[in-house]
Amino acid sequence: MKNISILVLEDEPFQRLVAVTALRKLGLERIQQAADGTEALDLLRTGGAVDIVLCDLRMAGMDGLAFLRQASLSGMVRSVILSSEVDEDLRQAASAMTRNLGLQFLGDLGKPFDMARAATLIERHRCQPAEIPAEPASVEPPCLEELLRALEQGEFEAWYQPKFHLESGASLGAEVLARWRHPSHGVLTPAHFLQALETHDLVDRLFWQLFRQGLALQQELARSGRQVNLALNLQPRQLADRDLVPAIGRALEKAGLPATGLTFELTETGLLEAPAASLESLVRLRLMGCELAMDDFGAGYSSLDRLCELPFSQLKLDAAFVRKLMSQPRSAAIIGNAVSLAEDLGMSLVVEGVETAEQRERLLALGCRVAQGYLFSRPLERDAFHALLARRSVPGLH
């Protein structure tokens, strides 16, 4: 912990002394202190970047909010701990602002200074998940000819984001994600190609390539007596195709696989005004035996209305609620109510975005049972996912 640098921003001399003394007792050696935002910015300019700012909000001169805004532009602060006596709802709003500025919010320390709580929050900084290696920023949006070549040569691959049982750690299937193994730029995520595929009306071709790869993996696993549920993303416009469900049925029959091994995920926002043909496709998928999941539940404005009208069997809780779980009590309340809602509706609930052991324990206490996130695994290519299943699957849990 001693290698972590920290800036204490507090206008009350006694409170500042208490914080600095306590941090030194925790083993921190690289500590700077400032009485207002202007002084803190000057310290950053002269002394360089810091890992953590312990920040009060209400101060004479430049207050904590203005400092955080300026510090985010400088790129010289990585993480923030709030330490303020303002009302809780104001501290929660400030924490949301901090995240929106691109800074990592470690938590709310409050006042008076709590050494044990401070140690926990500082440790949270040290245990932050490693950054994902940046993808090439210079990659230009692909043209139609490049996309067609990639589709024809099979450069798009199915990768797998595992789902896990929160308590036992057993693998419970995976979400199928698209990756492009580009001959020049390496492995690219959908941020580099999905919009171009949509523009050129090629999303359906991508879907079928991923679907066939997923079925091939299921067939291989079935030969060794194992089953795995795979979830694939469908776009609402695909549901309007009356041949979609029959084509899925034919593919399953040819592969000798049950429809119960498939889940189709749809975002609520794309189904606001679903035509009759789309609703028919959803019903037929359920009649066939497939599961339907409402993805990013809670991120839109019509979740409950869609639940009343559409035959979903699973809710996937948006990762934003988990990110705020340890800092905003309201997020915990929403997650707990989502658990109750899913149970009352006879649905399963999958929590997205679990990254820390602390989040896992809190989610278990709230009644959550199934999750995705970097705490368990990043998205894996086929062979790595196959190996993970061999290590972590538990008989009877699929």
Q: Is position 352 annotated as part of the catalytic site? A: yes
- Preceding peptide of 246 cis, ω within 30°: no
Radius of gyration from C-alpha coordinates of the chain: 24
Residue length of the chain = 398
Q: Which amino acid is at 122?
A: I
CA angle 365, 298, 72 (to 5 degrees): 90
Position of tokens 């894996």? 380
What residues contact 333, with CB distance under 8 A and at least 6 apart? Answer: none
250 vs 364: CA distance, rounded Å: 40
CA angle 140, 142, 148 (to 5 degrees): 160
371 vs 374: CA distance, rounded Å: 10
As beta bridge partners, residue 164 has: 171, 371
388 vs 398: CA distance, rounded Å: 13
Question: Phi and psi dihedrals of 366, rounded to 5?
Answer: -85, -5
CA angle 314, 315, 319 (to 5 degrees): 145
266 vs 295: CA distance, rounded Å: 5
Which entry of 352, 355, 358, 381 is annotated as an active-site residue?
352
Q: Which amino acid is at 81?
A: I
64 vs 190: CA distance, rounded Å: 37
- Preceding peptide of 112 cis, ω within 30°: yes
What residues contact 251, with CB distance under 8 A and at least 6 apart? Answer: 211, 212, 215
Q: Which two tokens stand for residue 375?
A: 């705490």
User: Taken in order 177, 181, 186, 188, is the CA torsion positive or negative?
Assistant: negative
- Give yes or no for a contact between 58 and 34, defined as CB atoms under 8 angstroms apart: no
Is residue 113 classed as helix, strand or coil in its secondary structure?
Answer: coil
Q: Report DSSP letters for 220-240, one per residue.
A: HHHHTT----EEEE--HHHHT
User: Taken in order 228, 231, 232, 237, is the CA torsion positive or negative?
Assistant: positive
Catalytic residue numbers? 352
